[in-house]
A and B are shown apart, each in its own frame.
Chain A
């Protein structure tokens, strides 16, 4: 079907469309590497996590739990909940990937991050998925190489400057999350979801097993869905 030339073109397009995401993920990679060393993981284990797990937010939470000496089942349950949204991505992309062989679907699943999902889903929805595995592969490899590279930079920073974690790196994480979330609040149901989750997170601070985070997520999502269906009813009534 697709010639090697158009395969390469699709791969490169996938890389190109992912560049803004690479820029956004780079500081996270550095921060992750630095915090991981600060949490007591070795350089190889820190890099190993970026190579094998390849999931930014659960890696952050993972190293903070490991640093606090959390029991393995709790760490794994948290990983599961934090990454559960990837099942939704997996389902959203399935209609496009249904007929691809398993040797494609397994590795593309391994590399399915928030960023690659956003890029690939947009492309397939607007332009179709013809030859799309190459486009997806391009986006995946770009994100993976970028993440491992910047994690390594963070690891070496963490090793050479042991006090770095105290110099506002946790603020960097907060500011990054705040900036990302602010751009998602243009619509009222999303704003409601954010506000409800914030209130629950404040009230539930310090609950064991990161239950505060999970409760806040559930209440926030439910609030968003409720507001969405109410505004639809009003549209119908009007």
Chain B
């Protein structure tokens, strides 16, 4: 595959989406439901990425002690939820993930 062709295509799509209303859409009205839907896109997309990563890191469901992703990601979510501090949550989760793998010898 031509990587530069891929990148230029991604660039054009991204900039056209971002320019949609700002550059072309002065006369377009923005429906209220779409406006409200905006709030739910990040939690929906991020959970859809994270939850399979935690429960099935190799592709099939793995709820066992060998799955270090599960405790690590649960800790990341809990610390962030309790403290509101994202960076702290990531650091703590890394420690848990590392210790878990180390404790299991791999």
Contact A179-B9, Cβ < 8 Å, known A87-B21, A88-B34, A112-B22: no
Query: Which residues 19-64 of A sit at the B interface, judged by CB distance below 8 A?
Result: 23-24, 27, 41-42, 45, 48-49, 52-55, 57-59, 62
With an 8 A cutoff between CB atoms, is A205 at the interface? yes
- Secondary structure of the A side of the interface? helix
Contact A177-B14, Cβ < 8 Å, known A52-B7, A194-B43, A221-B40: no
Interface residues on B, range: 35 or more
> Taking CB as reference atom, which chain B residue is nearest A189?
B40
Contact mask for chain A residues 206-233; partner B; CB cutoff 8 A; 1 contact, 0 none: 1000001100110111011100100000
| A87 with B20: CB separation less than 8 A | yes
Query: Which residues 1-57 of B sit at the A interface, judged by CB distance below 8 A?
Result: 1, 3-11, 13-15, 17-23, 25-26, 28, 30, 33-56
Q: Which residues of A contact B78 (CB under 8 A)?
A: 182
Which of A6-14, A102-110, A123-131, A154-162 contacts the other chain? A102-110
With an 8 A cutoff between CB atoms, is A200 at the interface? yes
Closest beta carbon of chain A to B2's beta carbon, Å: 8
Contact A106-B19, Cβ < 8 Å, known A175-B73, A175-B97, A183-B80: yes
Q: How far is the CA of A165 from the CA of B8 in the complex (A)?
A: 25
Q: Which residues of B contact A16 (CB under 8 A)?
A: none
With an 8 A cutoff between CB atoms, is A142 at the interface? no
Q: Which residues of B contact A45 (CB under 8 A)?
A: 3-4, 7
Contact mask for chain A residues 93-124; partner B; CB cutoff 8 A; 1 contact, 0 none: 11001100010011011101010000000000
Q: Which residues of B contact A163 (CB under 8 A)?
A: none
Query: Which residues 175-204 of A sit at the B interface, judged by CB distance below 8 A?
Result: 175-185, 189-191, 193-198, 200-202
Query: Which residues 60-106 of B sit at the A interface, judged by CB distance below 8 A?
Result: 61, 68-69, 72-73, 76-81, 84, 86-87, 89-90, 93-94, 97-98, 101
Task: Point out residues on B near A: beta carbons under 8 Å.
Answer: 1, 3-11, 13-15, 17-23, 25-26, 28, 30, 33-56, 59, 61, 68-69, 72-73, 76-81, 84, 86-87, 89-90, 93-94, 97-98, 101
Task: Point out residues on A near B: beta carbons under 8 Å.
Answer: 23-24, 27, 41-42, 45, 48-49, 52-55, 57-59, 62, 66, 69, 72, 75-76, 79-80, 82-94, 97-98, 102, 105-106, 108-110, 112, 114, 168, 170-185, 189-191, 193-198, 200-202, 205-206, 212-213, 216-217, 219-221, 223-225, 228
